[in-house]
Chains A and B, each alone.
Chain A
Amino acid sequence: MRASYVIRKLIGAVSTLAFVAVFNFFLFRVVNRNPVDSMFRGRNLTREQLDELTRKFNLDGSKWDQFVAYVRQLLRGDLGLSFRGNRPVVDVIAEALWPTVLLVGTSTLLAMIGITIGYRAGWKRGSRGDTVSTSLSMLTYSMPEFFIGMVMLGIFAASLGWFPVGGLEDPGSTATGLEQLLDQFHHMVLPALVLAIAYVGEYMIVARSAMIETLREDYLQLARAKGMRDDEVRRKHAVPNARLPVVSLSAINFGFVFSGAIAVESIFSWPGLGQATYLAVRGPDLPVLQGLFLLMSATVILANLIADLLYGVLDPRVMGR
């Protein structure tokens, strides 16, 4: 790997992360001058109580002092206290992390089937298979993921009763081990399918247009002239090139799936980061919302960095010798 490329991408990621952190501060302490006031508006608190809360949430002192304190806190991995129940934001998030990793991971893997479909559709552009899969992709692209969720919930859970209507596991369940895992899997099927359906089209369209970009390349003609079969030309010569833009766009897509989880988790009462976001919006619980925003941004920035590095590995022209 060429060090300069890696370093450049690392600096890019860190600068984006720094931008997000500063933006976050700006948003919650400058745009919204005193969050505590708006937070507890209409709750009949005395001035003293409000001042007390202001100190507790680190909102006293000059903006600069606040900023320094905020950065110090951030570097320690401390995201402050939730407005509700006096719990550290980190705990609230940590609790919700695993269900989301499970859900987003599963549905991303499922949605990535779209890449293979897209390559094939682009390869046989204008064919019946291409028309059908492109039309379906446009249809799912046009549906808000939570609307897909509502329809699927209505059909497969409420009417047919094949799947539970929500939650991580059956309420009051004492199952452990494999049984517990199966129960959780049963609960995850619908939300994971919903997210996969909502985003499989994005992957498909990205892969399709990347494939179409490579269709005219001379090396495909050479490969055919060598006597390779059509599908071998696709697999061995077209796909390795079409893969490059797909890698970069997959990272952006991952951000979409992550975002889509917010509304879908709230529909299926899936106790992950998405539902935590939903509840924090409803609260509103600004410290939790801030922490979630930082975490989600950091995850997507990391995904982009990984995609950039992978790109370097896949395209010898980037890394060279």
Chain B
Amino acid sequence: MTAAIAWARRRASAAASWRRMRRDRLAMVALGVLLACVVMALIAPLVSDRADFNAINTGDNPTHASPTGQFVLGTDGLGRSMALQVMWGARVSLLVGFAATVLMIGIGTLIGLAAGFFGGWTDAVLMRITDWFMVIPFLPLAIVLAAVLERGLGTIVLVIGITSWPSTARLVRSQVLSVRERLYVDRARALGAGRLHLIGRHILPNVTPLILANTTLAVPIAILTETTLSFLGLGDPSEVSWGGLLERAGSSAVKEGYWWEYLPPGLGIVAVVLAFTIVGRALEEVLDPRLRER
């Protein structure tokens, strides 16, 4: 019964947040851009086949063709259509971005929950480790990790997850501490509620909105990191992301003036990252009452 009421209340507050966000026009445009990119990634297999990129099938195509009739975005040095590659690249970039975000939010939430809830030694040790990971420059760390592990999308996801969780852990921990302070958790504990029950029913629902906003802001970080790692040649050679396309283009395409080989994937990254950042900040503003006052 009470659970039903709690859910109804949460649904109502989610609806109110959505209404408030609807008023933010920029955020709505950004959301549109994101949807367009997701759709583009989803329909890539419908409009083309991966085999289109095999050298055997592109041998007859012109190489380094500028955007003209046959190829909307021109072709690269092997005669592969840039337009199709950008669509497929969106798939990989978004997939890795989302998966890595889930992993890093997962690790961060677990560690933050544990540190904030158990306190004492657990907290001290976990926060020390978090501090270490905060200070170590995370790109070099990601590079050495990716360098010693097998190449592949899974590795990239793992590397981003392992290197970028600390800020989420800190955020969740401070939220847990403030929620724990509130009276009703004490009341629940006085009634003899177990720890898991406390975390699941009282603490987690209260920290979820902020985790959500944090997630939206973490996706662009994950996508940017994936891009950089791929650009440095640490990506999956068989699954080319936007970063991978930039790597292939390299500075030679720039020097030769083949702008269609690096501008489209680069602008794709900028659009997605910018859109996620805008939506994330709008979400944060709607969900965090402290920010709303400003």
- Verify B137–A266 contact, CB threshold 8 A: no
Known contacts: A16-B135, A27-B144, A144-B227. The answer to whether A154 contacts B232 by CB under 8 A is no
User: A255 — which chain B residues lie within 8 A by C-beta?
Assistant: 137-138
- Verify A138–B274 contact, CB threshold 8 A: yes
Instruction: Indicate if B88 sits at the interface (CB-CB under 8 A).
Output: no
Contact of A289 among B134, B143, B149, B266 (CB under 8 A): B143
Instruction: Indicate if A292 sits at the interface (CB-CB under 8 A).
Output: yes
- Verify B251–A165 contact, CB threshold 8 A: yes
| Segment of A44-52, A61-69, A174-182, A279-287 in the binding face | A279-287
- Interface band, chain A: 35 or more
Instruction: Indicate if A36 sits at the interface (CB-CB under 8 A).
Output: no
User: A138 — which chain B residues lie within 8 A by C-beta?
Assistant: 274, 277-278
Number of A-B contacts (CB under 8 A): 140
User: B144 — which chain A residues lie within 8 A by C-beta?
Assistant: 24, 27-28, 289-290, 293
Count of B residues near A, CB < 8 Å?
44
Q: Which chain B residue has the least Cβ–Cβ distance from A269?
A: B251
- Verify A263–B269 contact, CB threshold 8 A: no
- Verify B137–A286 contact, CB threshold 8 A: no
Per-residue contact bits, chain B 260-274, to A (CB 8 Å; 1 contact, 0 not) = 001100100110011
- Verify A259–B137 contact, CB threshold 8 A: yes
User: A204 — which chain B residues lie within 8 A by C-beta?
Assistant: none
Instruction: Indicate if B126 sits at the interface (CB-CB under 8 A).
Output: no
Instruction: Indicate if B36 sits at the interface (CB-CB under 8 A).
Output: no
User: A277 — which chain B residues lie within 8 A by C-beta?
Assistant: 140, 143, 232
- Verify A154–B148 contact, CB threshold 8 A: no
User: B232 — which chain A residues lie within 8 A by C-beta?
Assistant: 262-263, 266, 277-278, 281
Contact of B257 among A12, A154, A284 (CB under 8 A): A154
- Verify B147–A284 contact, CB threshold 8 A: yes
Instruction: Indicate if A314 sits at the interface (CB-CB under 8 A).
Output: no
Per-residue contact bits, chain A 237-277, to B (CB 8 Å; 1 contact, 0 not) = 00000000000000010011011101100111100000001
Q: Which chain B residue has the least Cβ–Cβ distance from A209?
A: B294
Instruction: Indicate if A300 sits at the interface (CB-CB under 8 A).
Output: yes
User: A263 — which chain B residues lie within 8 A by C-beta?
Assistant: 228, 231-232
- Verify A286–B274 contact, CB threshold 8 A: no
- Verify B148–A28 contact, CB threshold 8 A: yes
- Verify B148–A286 contact, CB threshold 8 A: yes
- A156 shortest CB reach to chain B, Å: 11
Per-residue contact bits, chain B 97-135, to A (CB 8 Å; 1 contact, 0 not) = 000000000000000000000000000000010011011
* Residues 217-245 of B at the A interface (beta carbon under 8 Å): 220, 224, 227-228, 231-234, 243
- Verify B274–A292 contact, CB threshold 8 A: no
> Is chain A's interface secondary structure helix, strand, loop, or mixed overall?
helix
Contact of B148 among A31, A150, A292 (CB under 8 A): A31
- A158 shortest CB reach to chain B, Å: 5
Known contacts: A20-B136, A289-B143. The answer to whether A144 contacts B231 by CB under 8 A is yes
Give the docked Cα–Cα distance between A289 and B251 (Å).
23
Instruction: Indicate if B139 sits at the interface (CB-CB under 8 A).
Output: yes
Instruction: Indicate if A127 sits at the interface (CB-CB under 8 A).
Output: no
Instruction: Indicate if B254 sits at the interface (CB-CB under 8 A).
Output: yes
Give the docked Cα–Cα distance between A304 and B134 (Å).
11
User: A260 — which chain B residues lie within 8 A by C-beta?
Assistant: 139
Give the docked Cα–Cα distance between A125 and B138 (Å).
32
User: A267 — which chain B residues lie within 8 A by C-beta?
Assistant: 251, 254
Q: Which chain B residue has the least Cβ–Cβ distance from A300?
A: B137
User: B292 — which chain A residues lie within 8 A by C-beta?
Assistant: none
- A302 shortest CB reach to chain B, Å: 10
- Verify A262–B147 contact, CB threshold 8 A: no
Contact of B228 among A28, A144, A286, A301 (CB under 8 A): A144
The winner among A35, A142, A277 for most chain B CB atoms within 10 A is A142
- A263 shortest CB reach to chain B, Å: 6
Instruction: Indicate if A81 sits at the interface (CB-CB under 8 A).
Output: no
Q: Which chain A residue has the least Cβ–Cβ distance from B294?
A: A212
The 10 closest A-B pairs by CB, nearest first: A259-B139, A142-B274, A255-B137, A142-B273, A147-B266, A32-B148, A296-B140, A300-B137, A154-B254, A293-B144
Q: Hey, which bits of chain B sit against chain A, CB under 8 A? A: 128, 131-132, 134-141, 143-145, 147-149, 220, 224, 227-228, 231-234, 243, 246, 249, 251, 254-257, 259, 262-263, 266, 269-270, 273-274, 277-278, 294
New A-B contacts (5) at CB < 8 Å, excluding given A32-B148, A144-B227, A259-B138: A28-B144, A141-B273, A144-B266, A289-B144, A290-B144
Could you jot down 5 A-B contacts, CB within 8 Å? A138-B274, A139-B274, A141-B277, A262-B143, A290-B144
Q: Hey, which bits of chain A sit against chain B, CB under 8 A? A: 12, 15-16, 19-20, 24, 27-28, 31-32, 35, 125, 138-139, 141-144, 146-147, 150-151, 153-154, 157-159, 165-166, 212, 252, 255-256, 258-260, 262-263, 266-269, 277-278, 281-282, 284, 286, 289-290, 292-293, 296-297, 300-301, 304
